[in-house]
Every structure is written in structure tokens, then in C-alpha cells.
Amino acid sequence: MKLTDVKNEALVKWVEKIAKQTTPDDIYVCDGSKQEYDTLMQQAVDSGLAIKLNESKKPNCFLFHSDPSDVARVEKRTFIASKTEEDAGPTNNWIDPKELRKTLDDLAKGCMKGRTMYVIPFSMGPVGSPLSKIGVEITDSPYVVCNMHIMTRVGTKILDLIGKDGSFVPCFHSVGKPLQNGESDNGVWPCAPMEDKYIAHFPETREIWSYGSGYGGNALLGKKCLALRIASVLARDEGWLAEHMLILKITSPEGEVKYITAAFPSACGKTNLAMLIPTIKGWKVETVGDDIAWMRFGKDGRLYAINPEAGFFGVAPGTSSISNRNALIAASKNTIFTNVALTEDKDIWWEGIGYDAPGKLIDWKGNEWVQDKNDKSQAPAAHPNSRFTAPASQCPSIAPEWEDPNGVPVSAILFGGRRPSTIPLVHMARDWNHGVFLGSIVGSEVTAAALDVKAGTIRRDPFAMLPFCGYNMGEYFKHWIEIGKHEGAKLPKIFYVNWFRKTKDGKWLWPGYGDNSRVLKWVFECCDGKAKTVDTPIGIMPALDAIERPEGVSEEDMKELLAVDKEGWLREVKDIRENHYPKFGSHLPKELSACLDELEKNLSK
């Protein structure tokens, strides 16, 4: 499709302006068709950037290996360019927007030389839904186009929707590696050096500029950039919530349905929970979304959620038939794999897939790799943050309502993190403000998804939004408090869960995975006022016999999982009071300070 076919004047002017600046060899407007996807992917194969996988094992699947410097989100190169540093807040990297625009303008000059500029019109959320938002991404990466085909709704139907004068979020992306006459990438992943990588957001003008990285959320600008950083600002201004949350549909044996959202930092079992297979007889869990939830109030006062994405961008290592069979099935065809290992018969493999490496592999760096179980220091064959991009429609657990334009009514919100001690298996907030408090103190072990933070340490990640909130997080807390004051609101109940408790000798206390359905059952019962509960200093908790114990979990284990570790919680209070809350200064809502005081008082009784 050509630019002359586009009717929206603002879009045409923007594309022409960028083209003049970046000087691509050609401009192509994406139509979202299968033919378009197949053509671009074949070009990637022909150029040596992609490998077509074994058609009998992984039909229509492809493997890419990125540059070793371009493997994850780069938080230190991610910026919120609001008018003032205070607007960005203490948890974001801020640069003056005028200064940043000058830097980006200089970098963009001629940056698409030798490449095609692709214009991707896309919808976050079902096309035409009142809860959806429209974006247009300019990119010089066919890899990005193909991933956006899977992760969003791309095509001419989006152009029809915005018509001649409809609005959209402009998203600029370039790999930052122009080609000279006759030059090609020679099968090498194109990107810029680390110091030239910028993932920049302009909240006031609702713009995104990404330069120098071709990977994941740095380049697929509908995902974290639009759906969270920009959408969180839109949600604040328009009175809704844009959250880093999965959405589940749970059906009881009696046929009663409830929808639950959950926010966990990366590598805390979020995708596994989203596609959970229950171990409790008669209960059914279905997937509405695995990563992002947009929630608005309906006429009945309830919060209704949509999943703005159309695909899964899942972490591959650790995904197996035991941990997440549904994810493996979803990624068994029509899927893009990035930075996993390649087998001799052109299938894929990664650590934790559930079986040993089948012979000699090509690792994610392109080197031969043979598994040596005796060598504990052996580098992994697949990068710890390697990914699969798979259509959500292929997931066996996908709920029929996953594309309902009106969204689904939310009964409960879960927060959680990877914590080996202190935090119990589950507890419920006493009220909305207490729930916001629980969200504000979320902490977890750091993972490989964040490139520039040391793995294994614990950091606070409020609402699992630390890298994704587009404005001052203290004001974000206030927005959550204000949501609770909505006239006629019938608010979800809020819970804090932790599947990752360990004994002192490092053994798991809770088996997790499908057995987490036992905790969800208690959550379900709490929403109906039918659960067995006890009041504790930290909130409402299950009675000892309220959650059916899985095989291998003793009564003593259950007591430890549901115990209130007063000393541990007092250390939490001290850390929150001295190291966490002071960051937000005068922007911290007084309601949260009051909750912290109340917690300390309860623990000291």
C-alpha cells in the first residue's frame, strides 16, 4: 500500500516529515495481510536474518538471533521527557524534551538510508472498541512489522477507522543503522551502540520515539511504550487504569464466572498463571490476557477490562509442558522465536523446556553448543530473556470473551512478587486504600528481563509498573486512590499473593503452577463472602483449612505459608518507611502513609 492511498492528512504530513528527515529508499504502508507478513518474513530469511524452522515440527515459525548488546529492555536508556523533572517523578529517567528532541533529530538524520520505511497502523484492543486506542508506528525493521502483525491488530481497517481527521499516537522507531549504497546487513542483526539507544516518551504530546534497538518492548512500540507508559498518562487524564496485569476468567463447578486481574513483575509466573490448568476438580481457568489490562468503569459501577494486545511476547526459558502447556501449544505454529537455540533438524530448544538438548545445537550467539550437565558454569544455549511471539488466538485456554469490545467485569485484583520469605501465600486487603497500599509496596527478585539491573537482588516494583509508569509514581498512587472514590463504584477486592516462599534450606514450600488454582478458589470465595478467613495484623488471611492442600504440602508447610512473620514484616515496614516511600516526597498520598502506620501499629500489638 502506498502513502498516496492514506486519507488522514495529519498522518500523511507526519510520515512525509519523518521521511524527509530519515531518507529511506522507499515508503510502504502496511495492510496487515498474510501475504505482507509472508513476503517480509521470506525477505528476512533470504537476507540471513531469520531461519525458517522445520515445517513439520513448527509450521510457519521463524527464529531470529539478535546482537548480544540488544537482548532486553534497557531501563537506563528509557526516558520520560515530560515538561518538568517532577512530572516524570523519582522512578523515571528524565530528559528535558527540547534537549531530547534535538538529540533524536540529529540521530534520525539519514538513519533509514538504504532501508524501507514501513508505516504500521495498529489498534491496541479490539478494532472499534470504545476502550481501544489507535497508534501508527514508523519503523525500518521488517522484524518489527512481523511482530506487530502478531501483537496488535494491523491494517487498512485501522486507517478506515481514523478516517480523514481521526487521532492516533505517533510512534517512531529506527534500528539506527543506515546502509550505504550496495551495503546490506549480511545476516547481522542491525542496531546502534548502547550509548545511542533511546526509548523516549513525550507524555504531553502523546509521542513515542525509539532509536537504536530492534528488540522487544524497545521496538514493538504498541507494547510497553504505548500500552503502559503513554496509556498510563491517558488513563490518569481520562479516569481509567492502564496496568501491567494479566486477565483471567474463572468458572466454578456450579458455572459461576468471575474475572481476575493480576500484576507481577517479570519472571514471577505471570504468563503461567494467565494460562493456568487447574488441579482442582470442576474448576476452569481461561485466558483473557497475559500481560496488560486496560480498565474502565461501566454503567453498573464495575471496572471492565480489555486486553489491548493480540499476541503473547512470552519468556521462553522455563516454559514447559509442566509449567505452561498452553503457552507451548500457542507457540507451536505461526510464531516468531528470538534468541532461543536451534537444533540440528531446525527445531527450537531452551533451558527448562522439559527435556535434554537433542544433540548438537546452535546457541543464541550462533555458536555450536553441546549440553554438559556436569559443567555448572556452562553458558545457556538460549538467552535467559529469549522470547516467543505467538498469536493469542492459538492458545487453547483463550476465553471466548477475550476480544469483547465492552471488556469483562473485574471481581478481584492480585498483586505479587518473587519473595522467598516474609510474604505469605495470600492475604486480602481490608478495603480499597489498603489494597492500593499493598500494590505500592510490591517487591521482587530482579530478573533477566531488565538488562541493566543486577539479577537476584530484591527491588520494590510498585504495581509491577516501576519501568512502565509514564509519570510521577506518587501521582500514580493518588490516581488509584481517586479511582476508589468513583461515584457508585463497585470495586474489586484486592489480594497479595506469593507462590515463591522457601524453607530455610531453600526448598519450595508451595508447588505453584496448576496448584495456584487452589488459591484462586479462595479468592473466588472471598468475592462472594463465602471464604473461611481470619483477621491478622497484615490483612484478611485464609483459615488454615480454607485452602485445599496439594500433594506434598504438609499441614506444617501450610502453617508456615499462612503465618504472619511479625519480625519480617517489621523489617518491611522499616524498609518502606526509610528507603521506599521517601522517594515520592510530597506526592505520596497521605492515605498510604496512614496504611503503613496502621500496619506497624498492628504488628506491634
The residues carrying an active-site annotation are 268
Write out the DSSP string of 42-100: HHHHHTTSEEE--TTTSTT-EEE---TT-SSB-GGGEEE--SSHHHH-TTSEE--HHHH
- Beta partners for residue 408, in sequence order: 305
Euclidean distance between CA atoms 380 and 369, whole angstroms:
9
What letters, b where the CB count within 10 A reaches 16 and e where it falls short, cover 164-200?
eeeebbbbbbbbbbbeeeeeebeeebbbbeeeebbbb
The rounded radius of gyration (Å) of the Cα atoms in the chain is 24
How far apart, in whole angstroms, are the C-alpha atoms of residue 180 and residue 184? 8
Give the residue from 414, 409, 436, 437 showing the smallest Cα distance to 427: 414
Q: Measured in Å, how far apart are the chain's first and last C-alpha atoms? A: 70
* Spatial CB neighbours of 326, under 8 Å, sequence gap ≥ 6: 275, 277, 287, 395, 396, 397
Give whole-number Cα distances, 22 to 14, 30, 104, 114, 191, in Å.
12, 19, 11, 10, 15
Report the 3 state secondary structure along 494-533: EEEECCCCECCCCCECCCCHHHHHHHHHHHHHHHCCCCCE
Q: How far is CA 373 from CA 318, 377, 424, 476, in A?
A: 17, 10, 34, 47
